[in-house]
Copies of this chain bind each other. A is one copy, B any other.
Amino acid sequence: MFFASDNAGPAHPQIMQRVMEANEGYALPYGNDLLMDEVRAGIRTTFEAPDAEVFLVATGTAANALALASYCQPWQVIFCSEVSHIEEDECNAPEFFAGAAKLKLIATDDKMTPDALRAAIARRAPDDVHTAQRGPVSITQVTERGSVHGLEELRALTGVAKEFDLPVHMDGARFANAIVALGCSAADMTWRAGVDVVSFGGTKNGCMGVEAVVFFDPSKSWEFQLRRKRGAHLFSKHRYLSAQMAGYLQDDLWKKTAQLANDNCAHLAAGLRNKGAEFVHEPQANMIFTRFPVPVHHKLRDAGATYNLWSDDGDSVTARLVCDWSISRENIDRFLSHF
């Protein structure tokens, strides 16, 4: 009954299979392996972006921090939500990689609104040398609260960025879960919606540890490669990153595992709803924020259930429950049985 995160489950067999197969003979290091060609082609096809530049790193924080740094000067700010992963859970990595830039937080408990974003951008005068300058906008899809921006919502946010000629980054740690939830294409949710660079997450969705940074503007390619090496994120035996991503893309595995995770979550949500649990945010992908009585919490903990406790007011707790692709219906039902 492990609902603490989608980074604790196993990798999908198809991923492991590709990694094992990749372990044959010699392969050029540092991203020059042949498998990377397959990955590049696969991403370009998936995103309908023949000129996209694609790079692999092993952690989501690396993907976000390096992608943002490519679009942010040290005297600029990155606009993001107050609850964003880059603000809350990356121990100043974005600031570090962006040369001591600032994160400018848009107050929200989930999604930024276009108006709040516009106001935050507008009040930073672009000709005032005292003010840290306007920089990129970062949007998390699925959000850190389990919500999914609809395509219109996305376009509204990127539209605000474009009003000010600012680049847009998407933190897609759960990119696949959003795609599956929306039923749209990867292109629709990125460059067609005004996104310039996306961290296309694999780790949380069935890989061992791989994320693709996809630039729709290929002019960033060489700078990114230098930033990646300087950040110590260029793998010598790169083939093992490539193999994971190749397996992830193969036959759209990434959508299948996301569908499994989202379905698991929907099953859990339906069960919780049945039991009368409240939702802090309406579950849309593979993450639930729900409130239930403290005694239930104790029963669940005693039974070995694992999840993040968000708050506890004495009467009830708020818990974050995340489903990955691998959790069994049995485990979910067992979890529900304690309510």
Contacts and interface: CB of A to CB of B under 8 A. Distances in A.
A262 to B, nearest CB: 19
Interface stretch (A1-9, A37-45, A145-153, A176-184): A1-9
Contacts of A77: 92
A10 interface: yes
Interface residues of A, number: 72
The interface residues of chain A, by DSSP majority, are classed as loop
A266 interface: no
Contact of A227 (B25, B75, B89, B98): B75
Given A89-B131, A232-B62, A29 B8 contact: yes
A95 to B, nearest CB: 4
A102 interface: yes
Contacts of A130: 30, 88-91, 229
A23 B8 contact: no
B7 A237 contact: yes
A81 to B, nearest CB: 14
Contacts of A102: 92, 95, 102-103
Contact of A231 (B8, B93, B223, B225): B93
A234 interface: yes
A73 B203 CA distance: 30
A197 to B, nearest CB: 16
A251 interface: no
A232 to B, nearest CB: 4
Q: Which 9 A-B pairs have the closest CB atoms?
A: A7-B236, A62-B232, A61-B232, A100-B100, A2-B26, A95-B100, A91-B229, A89-B130, A75-B226
